Structures are given as structure tokens and as C-alpha cells.
């Protein structure tokens, strides 16, 4: 495998992170609004990559009001609802900030598949071979799954101890997991949940991989190859995190300008009142 140290840190992203940190803690209303929007978008896009037909507005209505989209499959609605439960679990893990565990991974998967046609496989490593459609990569055979998942967590804990750049670490974790493909179904969604859990634990913005970027995403995953060169997927994830960071900063700056304008208006009114009293 290519030397981990040699993967390029995105300096623009690190500067965006510093700027974002300078505004923290964000105003409560802004923080709540941002989280709600980004988690909704993430839910819809992560499912859309896997073929889910619900639009962003249909996803919003379903989660807020329980109203289903006319003519859309039951499975698509269930996947969105289950993914939202997985997101709530993600939020719990972010607060706990404990190292990622096998139990966390199995719980994510269980929440994603609960009530689905594959519920009997929820939270359980597969015992049959699987293939990734359109990929030349051979997934881990069933008899090696336990060991490779254990090795993955050992690698991740070592990367944490060595203070590997969080975006690089999270991107490689996500990709190693996806290449192992430990479950019958739900591997992609679980991989992206792991990615964003690790990013958010250390204060980085989410990587919201969109359906429109699916081809580039899959190509970057495929380019890892037998030599395990993660350069392309690391760069792809860095780009996605930067996009979210820029969006958050735009919102924060707009909010700040509004507050500054409000403060200036208040000062002007106070000055006018004083003048009128003289």
C-alpha cells in the first residue's frame, strides 16, 4: 500500500476548517438550521446514489409529516426512514467521541435494514460471496470477513494514535470498508455513515456525495486497484468536504452580515432618539 503519509493534505480545506472554527460556537438557531438542512440532503443523496427515487422535497415531507410520495415504492420510503434513524445514531456517536467499534458498524447496518426484505441479514456479516456491479475488485470472501474487519479497526485505531489527517483517515476508512463489502446489502450507505461519523467527531464538515457525482465517486473507488492507492478517493472526499465547508461559511457570513446590519440599525435609532431629546 502507498505510504499513508504521502497522501496530500488539502491546504485549502484546512484553511476553511480554521475559518469555520473561528466562528464556533455558531448561533444556536443557525447551528440547528444548518444541521437539519445538511442531514436531510445527506440522507436523500446517500440513498439516491443507491437508486432511491425520492426527491429532496419528498424526503423532507416524509420525515417531517410522514406523508408518502405518490407512486413511489415502499422500499424507497423505508430506506429514507431507516437512514434517518442511522443518522440519529451517528449524532450519538459524535457526542460520545469514542473510537469506532465493530458494534457501532453492526448497529449502523441493523438500523439501515430493519423492516426491509433483507432484515434477517441486518447487523450480520454475510456468509456468501458478493460482487460489486461494474467493478473488477474482488470483495473479501466470507471466511476472512471477521479478520479483515478486525484488521480495519486496528488500522483505524493506529491512524488515530498517529494523528493522521482526519479527512484522509476517514476517506481511507470508508474505502477500505467498501472494498471489504461485509454485508449482503447496505454497504455503500454504511461506508458513508462511517465516513461522516469520523469527520464530524473532530469538527470537520460532512462529505455529502451527490447522485450527480456518482460516476466520479465510483471511478475514484475503482482506481484504488490492487496496489491500494487511495489518492483519487482521498482527493474526491476532500473536494466534497470543501463544498460543504464553503456552504456553511456562506450561511454563517450571511447571518453575521444580518446581525451587523441589525446592530447598526439599532445604533442609528438610538442616536436619532438622543437627537430628538436634545
Angle, helices 166-180/145-161, rounded to nearest 10 degrees: 180
Are the C-beta atoms of residues 41 and 251 closer than 8 Å to each other?
no
DSSP string, 61-123: HHHHH-PPPTT--HHHHHHHHHHHHHHHHHHHHHHH-PPP-HHHHHHHHHHHHTTSTTGGGTT
Q: Is 11 annotated as a binding residue?
A: no
Are the C-beta atoms of residues 176 and 159 closer than 8 Å to each other?
no
Are the C-beta atoms of residues 254 and 29 closer than 8 Å to each other?
no
DSSP string, 113-164: HTTSTTGGGTTS--SS----TT--PPPPPGGGHHHHHHHHHHHHHHHHHTT-
Are the C-beta atoms of residues 195 and 189 closer than 8 Å to each other?
no
Q: Is 191 annotated as a binding residue?
A: yes
Q: Is 218 annotated as a binding residue?
A: yes
Q: Is 188 annotated as a binding residue?
A: yes
The DSSP letter of residue 181 is -
Are the C-beta atoms of residues 167 and 12 closer than 8 Å to each other?
no
Of 137, 174, 181, 257, the active-site residue reads 181
Q: Which grid coordinates are listed for 256? A: 453575521
Between the CA of residue 32 and those of 28, 37, 38, 103, what are the distances in Å? 6, 9, 10, 28
Q: Is 261 annotated as a binding residue?
A: no
Q: Is 103 annotated as a binding residue?
A: no
Q: Is 190 annotated as a binding residue?
A: yes
- Let me know if 181 is a catalytic residue: yes
Q: What are the catalytic residues?
A: 181
Binding-site annotation, residues: 185-192, 217-218, 226
Binding-site annotation, residues for ATP: 185-192, 217-218, 226
Amino acid at each position: 500500500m502507498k505510504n499513508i503519509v504521502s497522501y496530500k493534505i488539502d491546504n485549502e480545506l484546512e484553511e476553511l476548517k480554521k475559518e469555520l472554527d473561528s466562528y464556533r460556537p455558531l448561533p444556536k438557531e443557525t447551528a440547528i438550521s444548518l444541521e437539519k438542512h445538511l442531514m436531510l440532503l445527506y440522507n436523500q443523496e446517500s440513498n439516491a446514489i443507491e437508486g432511491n427515487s425520492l426527491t429532496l422535497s419528498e424526503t423532507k415531507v416524509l420525515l417531517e409529516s410522514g406523508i408518502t410520495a405518490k407512486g413511489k415504492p415502499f422500499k424507497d420510503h423505508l430506506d429514507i426512514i431507516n437512514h434517518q434513524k442511522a443518522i440519529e445514531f451517528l449524532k450519538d456517536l459524535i457526542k460520545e467521541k469514542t473510537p469506532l467499534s465493530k458494534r457501532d458498524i453492526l448497529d449502523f447496518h441493523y438500523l439501515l435494514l430493519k423492516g426491509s426484505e433483507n432484515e434477517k441479514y441486518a447487523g450480520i456479516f454475510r456468509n456468501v460471496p458478493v460482487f460489486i456491479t461494474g467493478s473488477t475488485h474482488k470483495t473479501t470472501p466470507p471466511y476472512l470477513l471477521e479478520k479483515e474487519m478486525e484488521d480495519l479497526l486496528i488500522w483505524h485505531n493506529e491512524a488515530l494514535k498517529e494523528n493522521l489527517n482526519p479527512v484522509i483517515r476517514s476517506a481511507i476508512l470508508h474505502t477500505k470498508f467498501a472494498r471489504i463489502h461485509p454485508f449482503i446489502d447496505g454497504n455503500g450507505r454504511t461506508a458513508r455513515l462511517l465516513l461522516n461519523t469520523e469527520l464530524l467527531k473532530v469538527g470537520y464538515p460532512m462529505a455529502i456525495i451527490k447522485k450527480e457525482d456518482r460516476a466520479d465517486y465510483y471511478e475514484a473507488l475503482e482506481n484504488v486497484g490492487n496496489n491500494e492507492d487511495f489518492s483519487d478517493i482521498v482527493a474526491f472526499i476532500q473536494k466534497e468536504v470543501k463544498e460543504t465547508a464553503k456552504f456553511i461559511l456562506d450561511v454563517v457570513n450571511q447571518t453575521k452580515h444580518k446581525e451587523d446590519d441589525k446592530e447598526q440599525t439599532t445604533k442609528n435609532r438610538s442616536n436619532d432618539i438622543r437627537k430628538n431629546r436634545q
